[in-house]
Structure 1
Amino acid sequence: MKVFAPLLIVMLAASACLTLLQPLTASAQYPEPKAKAVLALERAVDDLYGRLKEAVARLNDTQGMRRLEELGASIQHAKALASEGRYSEAWQLKTQILAELGARLKSLYAERAELRARLEERMADLSERVQAERERALIEVAMKAVEGGNLTQLSHSLAQAKACVEGGRHEEARELLARCMREVKVAAVNNTLRRALRAAEGVLTSLSAAITVDPARGIDNAIAKITSTVGRLGELAEHLEEVGASPNATAAVRAAALRLEAVALHLEDVRARVAAGALEKVVITPAELEKTLEERGEWTPYVPAPREVSIDVISSARGVTRVKVTLTLPSAGFVFGWPPPSREGNEFYIDVRVMRWTGPSAQVITHRSHVYTLGRLEPGTYTFTFKAWGQPVASTTFTVPAG
């Protein structure tokens, strides 16, 4: 676009010349134009010629530059005529030169418009090709994920998406691809969840053999293994929340971690009794462990107190409203997920199903937060409510200003 910047200046100069020519044209009716009129026309021609020559040079137009050089010679000849006092001849030649310069200017703008149209056409074609290549690459990635996850039911949809790309139906292809990727994501989350829960159960199953052989050492090793597994489950739960997995999946992982923590506490009690000589033989079977856990506690619904819920409204500079919800709980013995928000008119709410473990758990204050993006809201007053098991617990009212 920098190449065409001087053309705007040329157009302004041409406009000035046309304004200037109005009195000069009137002077042409006289047999002998006055020297001042010829001089004014000469200045206008020189100015337009110089600017047009600069524009042609920037465009690297060899043929146009050659013609301008010929016009330059004519301009010098017209100046010579004026210096000899032959004003009528000089006037006539200069007006012819000015007319041709104007025609050249129009031609340049016509070429510019044509070039812009061609560039826009090329850019549109290039954009479509880049988009198609990107969609093909995404489809290949999705196909590998489908094959790796044994999700053969999605192969047909991906084949349809590929056909849409080849047919230029990019919007339809994107919709199919997005649907498939959501299914792949859900399947990946479920597979990760199943592996994590199997690993947690495997830890419990392996306790019996380890502890029977060497109670003291076996209990220490079991507690260390449980602690490591609980840490990995906690990281997995945080990851599931970040990727927007279902609240049930997140809650299942946290419940498994809490169950293992309860087992670790039970093993610490057993270790203390072994050290005190109260137990001569320790045999822990999965059935006995399950019975012990049931005796030590159970999962029950929990409704947080209003003081345990914090709701902060965040408005960005671009008008997107976000709400940060923080739940502060008295121990680690709670599990829940963050459900998507619901909306009724100007009222938003979430209904969180919190479960509390009635048995022993780590007595540490636990803070868990989540940020909800409500999007660009129309000006008005809104309410965001935190519910637990359908019961309103806390709410906040905020205003979106106009403009």
Structure 2
Amino acid sequence: MTTTLAPRGGLDDRPAHRDPNVLRWLGAYASSAGDGVYYVALSWAAVQAGSATQAGLVMSVSALPRAVLMLGGGVVADRFGPRRVVIGSDAVRCASVLAVAGLLLLTGPGLWLLAVLALVFGTVDAVFVPAVGALPARITEPGQLARVQGMRGLAYRCAVIVGAPLGGLGVAVGGAAAAFGLAGLLIAVSVPLLVCVRMRELPADDTVAGRDRTAWADLLAGLRYIRRHRVLAPLVLAIALGDFGFVGPLNVGLTLLADERGWGASGMGWVLAGFGVGAGLVSLLLAVRGRLPHAGQVSGYALLAGAVAIAALAFVPTLLAALAVALAVGLLAGLSGAMCGALLQTQADPAFLGRVTAVSSLVSLGLTPLSMPLSAAAIGAWGTGPVFVVSAVVCGLGGVVALGVRDLRRAELPG
């Protein structure tokens, strides 16, 4: 059954950037700078406590429960409501990080303690991520969702820019314990903000739809819903292909490329900055305009053009040229990602949005990180050029899907 939420539903009908309810949610999302501080603290403490290999294992512990439990997290978000799940999972994240900070003040950084924290964080993320994805459709009007995606992108970029330096400052001032404490306090800021966010309710028949079924039945119902949807099924496939083709080159591949070309760590930082600026400009455009026409076509063409830019990155001769290409990759990847995200929000029945978000996030946050060692091994065997080209082809296939499926190609965002 397809459900359309009643207009406004008691929420503010102002544009998203002027809506206090959306701004409270955005403030909570921006506090994800605490996540950046957490990762800096975790990596530093792991390196201090063990070898480089052991530190790498600790850093990767979060990925496995996130991948295994993500689909179940979507069921939890839809069953209990995304707001309740986000608040609860955020509280657990905050408490666990602060607890480790306290323990580190009393004892030295032990690998077992850090591994347990990473495991808890990854497990909670499996529930947190689908719930976060299901929130925007419940706090604003459908016509404002593209603007919300832009605002969310800007908040994320700011959190990334601020989080790592804050983590480094915390480590420099008081060691890993201080950095973990700072991360916990930043995460804690989001909890009261989320408590104050108002949500529109689903119609009664949808909110109770899954209560007489098992969680497994709800999961299967969500997967069937996506498979039968004329827009969501190809959209999720396009997102998956784009993520698989993008993450490897722009993470492990870029590091190896910078080393191969002699750009050094600073050169790699400039390239990453170019990408971040491009993605940030797209987020700003969406936040200001609120909507772009022909969303399905824009997503497809941006994926195709972004694929060409990814391939070109491996062949540019100078750092300045690489910076320009990275800016283009950021613009195109940011555009396709924002359009795909907005279409996902507007096309999905809100009663299924947690499960839809879980499926789309499973690839980018659960499975794709596990492919990074594969990308590194492939570059070691065949070099950066062939691997970047293959990755670009995979990314381009996402654009082919978006433009080749008529319902997705013609998909529009609400005005």
Both structures adopt the same fold (TM-score exceeding 0.5): no
TM-score interval w.r.t. the shorter chain? under 0.3
TM-score of the aligned structures, taking structure 2 as reference length: 0.24
Larger radius of gyration: 1
